[in-house]
Copies of this chain bind each other. A is one copy, B any other.
Amino acid sequence: MEYGEEELVACCGSTRFAQQLAKASPFSSLQQAIAAARDIWFNKVDVHGWLQAFSAHPQIGQSPSPSAHSTSAQWSKGEQSTALATATTSSLQELYEWNARYREKFGFVFLICASGRSTDEILAELKKRYPNRPIVEFEIAAEEQMKITELRLAKLFSTKENVSSTGGDQ
């Protein structure tokens, strides 16, 4: 399976990550792609690249910015669908306020792999992580980013498999 830089940026918004993973493709399986992605993300992308990837995410509970990559924005919406379905006006307001406080302390958006999590679960996690030291939180955010990237690589992989199994020569 071959990946292009453009579609990889939608999985993880670090330019260095997307370039290096595109260079390392094609991959024979999703597992192989994920292993390469983990190696690049944790060993080769520098701290600026981590910050670049974090800044590609909308604030949890908010719509992606108009400038966000369209595939990434669509995926964000899907990943947050449980949260949005379980949200009340007051829980969304509380999430909004805690997000602002988090951003003020750490200098980047609160990042969590939101798939399947309710607004209350996300809010509880935010409050639990808030007292962390900035460097500790920076690493946790990078781990969450990797979980999101893995989910998105899997989506990309299955889309491509579908395309190739229904493609011209079949």
Contact = CB atoms under 8 A, between A and B. Distances in A.
Interface in A29-83: 42-51
B105 A46 contact: yes
Interface residues of A, number: 20
Contact of A133 (B42, B107, B138): B42
Contacts of A106: 46-47
Contacts of A113: none
A116 interface: no
A46 B142 contact: no
Interface in A141-169: 142
B138 A135 contact: yes
A139 interface: yes
Given A42-B133, A133-B42, A47 B139 contact: no
A134 interface: yes
Interface string A107-146: 1100000000000000000000000011100110010000
A52 to B, nearest CB: 10
The 9 A-B residue pairs with the shortest CB-CB distance, nearest first, are A46-B107, A48-B107, A46-B134, A47-B138, A46-B106, A43-B133, A47-B134, A135-B139, A47-B107
